[in-house]
Structure 1
């Protein structure tokens, strides 16, 4: 790596870190102004606990979120400065091609991409668990907390022939109502067990059914049994129901992929929201390369108006990218669509823009 490469790479990383250090305190200040009343409502909540359990994880989450924006702004800022100081003219006069000029930028983008991949797949999900647990305990109101602990209209395929359905289940009390278990032979129903209430016993991992009814279908006649109370076992636990209601952002990628595969075997209908989260963890870091090319191509030539014009154009481009990304996430979560295609669509569109700007800059 030549001296000019080290110089550009150093400016790339320093400006990137400087931009992040500007954005993160702004986000913290806004968050404190919104949540200060929630903190003061709990007299036993200490400053150190707020910092360690909430704001440390808040910084991790928003550092990862702001990385593409910080990267894009940083590249535009220092590349515009290179252009305004006629340093780029000196580099091009030394017969350095635009492709060769991009080399240190790509080294920097690779470092940012690797860090972002590691954070997206492992660090941020584990951090989000702690942050959301703190929010649930100290920030969310009772109405929001009640909405989180209830699972409604939950269905699950336990085996190739066994299906269960629960109208409502409380993950804190491990109890619910309107439970049904059906066993099929092909498409023919063999037996149906239903109860008004269901409760999970943590000690022996059994389920208690109250006001239960069981119907066994036989060729010539049906047998019907009923009772007030019965203890039985099923091939699931409340953890499976809790996963269903948990946010996918709180699962590490290996855990999320395992959950998706288990859910597919159990016949869960729409898992696209989970696929979107999994694909996004890879697509967003790789956008670093695309955004770097666009930013360099925009700021490579000296413009009338200087850095301000380049920055305004860059912010507009970034806004469009974020807008397309959010739309693709919503559309990708719809049942029956290819979530992978939708999640990567913004990168494909802006990749084409990057290629066009790259070819134009080479001229």
Structure 2
């Protein structure tokens, strides 16, 4: 008997969740396309191939994967509240408990299904989502407003710390064309004394040879006795160990890396002395924190909706959507706080789970003991 009920609950859980997922994807896709059509038309003016059809094929499928994974725990939460409230209103839960099953036993299929979804979510977050983000982020800047698009694709000064003694500065670097002017590379000794300097009027990234091409360059080597050796030329190809995206990373770079790659990147940046890594650390911790929240929110939803209430399904959904808003808002707000270095990224990304877990445990135990 209980196995039949288990299958029934799992079917309800997955069926409602799948319906909510498909519904959200379609509604948000239609709204987003309508909103961004003018910006896509501006992109078409830059490159004829970047039309609406191109975006629907090469951008939005990967954008939807990112959207779904961002809101997965909230979809689970609302889905569980919806189908469990309906079961409670139909007195199905009362019938199960009256048959002699404990509330803990009734909750078992909720646990197993949430573990199943959380496990898949972990795998997708750590390995599949970065692949989707690579495809998405190639075009996402074209869907931004003019100010944000300029930050990603426009021209701006950039700098990079290659190691504790090596630095690159470029006065004007175009991120889309990967070319710039006013290039300076400096190397210091352990006493912070300049030992080598390379300047160039222009710099271009050769993506085929994976080298920087420096035009009208001048080299200066400073010896230990403070004498200088000078050299210059018109064309110099040089490698600095990384491509421009790695040397001058933006906040989207971490999204494009699988977790092993992201861990290596963070380690390398720390060794170089880069302390501005909180955006990437947020990405790293969120990949695990969000799937764990699926289990916590499943039991919170079960505890809130497993009793018949005055107001029925409507009051449960209103409460669920309100809590979902608080959960999502807290994640986004804590990202900003962490990037401003007010709290650590690990604490920021785990704090919503830390706050919601005691609430879910208390309400679950209270409901189980009734």
SS at match of 1:191: strand
Task: Write out the 4+ residue segments of structure 1 that deviate beyond 6 Å after TM superposition.
Answer: none
Residue 274, structure 1, aligned to residue 271, structure 2: no
Does the 8 Å contact 1:175/1:197 carry over to 2?
Answer: no
**Residues 6 and 188 of structure 1: CA distance in aligned 2, closer, same or farther (over 3 Å):** same
Q: Which residue does 1:96 correspond to in 2?
A: 101
Structure 1: 5+ residue stretches without partners: none
Equivalent runs, 1:137-156 vs 2, <5 Å: 139=143, 145-149=149-153, 150=155, 152-156=157-161
**Residues 6 and 56 of structure 1: CA distance in aligned 2, closer, same or farther (over 3 Å):** same
Measured in 1, the distance between the counterparts of 2:222 and 2:289 equals 51
**Residues 240 and 66 of structure 1: CA distance in aligned 2, closer, same or farther (over 3 Å):** closer
**Of residues 83, 86, 90 in structure 1, which corresponds to 2:88?**
83
**Residues 24 and 231 of structure 1: CA distance in aligned 2, closer, same or farther (over 3 Å):** closer
Q: Which moved more, 1:328-337 or 1:106-115?
A: 328-337
**Residues 207 and 56 of structure 1: CA distance in aligned 2, closer, same or farther (over 3 Å):** closer
Q: Which moved more, 1:351-360 or 1:283-292?
A: 351-360
Does the 8 Å contact 2:59/2:136 carry over to 1?
Answer: yes
Q: Which residue does 2:61 correspond to in 1?
A: 56
Residue 256, structure 1, aligned to residue 262, structure 2: yes
SS at match of 2:161: strand
**Residues 326 and 47 of structure 1: CA distance in aligned 2, closer, same or farther (over 3 Å):** closer
Q: Which residue does 1:119 correspond to in 2?
A: 124
* Post-superposition offset of 1:319: 1.3
Residue 21, structure 1, aligned to residue 22, structure 2: yes
Equivalent runs, 1:223-242 vs 2, <5 Å: 223=228, 225=230, 227=232, 229=234, 231=236, 233-241=238-246
Does the 8 Å contact 1:325/1:346 carry over to 2?
Answer: yes
Does the 8 Å contact 1:260/1:271 carry over to 2?
Answer: yes
SS at match of 2:59: helix
Residue 362, structure 1, aligned to residue 338, structure 2: no
Q: Which moved more, 1:99-108 or 1:60-69?
A: 60-69
SS at match of 2:310: coil
* Post-superposition offset of 1:256: 2.0
Measured in 2, the distance between the counterparts of 1:28 and 1:130 equals 17
Residue 2, structure 1, aligned to residue 7, structure 2: no
* Post-superposition offset of 1:85: 1.0
TM-score normalised according to structure 2 size = 0.86
Q: Deviations over 1:14-42 (max 9, x none)?
A: 11111112211110121121123445664
Q: Which residue does 1:317 correspond to in 2?
A: 323
Q: Which residue does 1:181 correspond to in 2?
A: 185
TM-score normalised according to structure 1 size = 0.87
**Of residues 333, 344, 347 in structure 1, which corresponds to 2:350?**
344
Measured in 1, the distance between the counterparts of 2:63 and 2:324 equals 23
Q: Which moved more, 1:334-343 or 1:28-37?
A: 334-343
Over the aligned positions, Cα root-mean-square deviation in angstroms equals: 2.8
Measured in 2, the distance between the counterparts of 1:217 and 1:294 equals 68
* Post-superposition offset of 1:79: 0.8
Measured in 2, the distance between the counterparts of 1:184 and 1:116 equals 46
**Residues 120 and 97 of structure 1: CA distance in aligned 2, closer, same or farther (over 3 Å):** same
SS at match of 2:82: helix
Q: Which residue does 1:30 correspond to in 2?
A: 31
**Residues 176 and 232 of structure 1: CA distance in aligned 2, closer, same or farther (over 3 Å):** same
SS at match of 1:235: coil
Measured in 2, the distance between the counterparts of 1:50 and 1:94 equals 55
Measured in 1, the distance between the counterparts of 2:25 and 2:327 equals 21
Q: Which moved more, 1:36-45 or 1:12-21?
A: 36-45
SS at match of 2:158: strand
**Residues 301 and 141 of structure 1: CA distance in aligned 2, closer, same or farther (over 3 Å):** closer
* Post-superposition offset of 1:211: 5.1
* Post-superposition offset of 1:167: 3.4
Measured in 1, the distance between the counterparts of 2:362 and 2:335 equals 26
**Residues 180 and 217 of structure 1: CA distance in aligned 2, closer, same or farther (over 3 Å):** farther
Measured in 2, the distance between the counterparts of 1:167 and 1:354 equals 53
Q: Which residue does 1:195 correspond to in 2?
A: 199
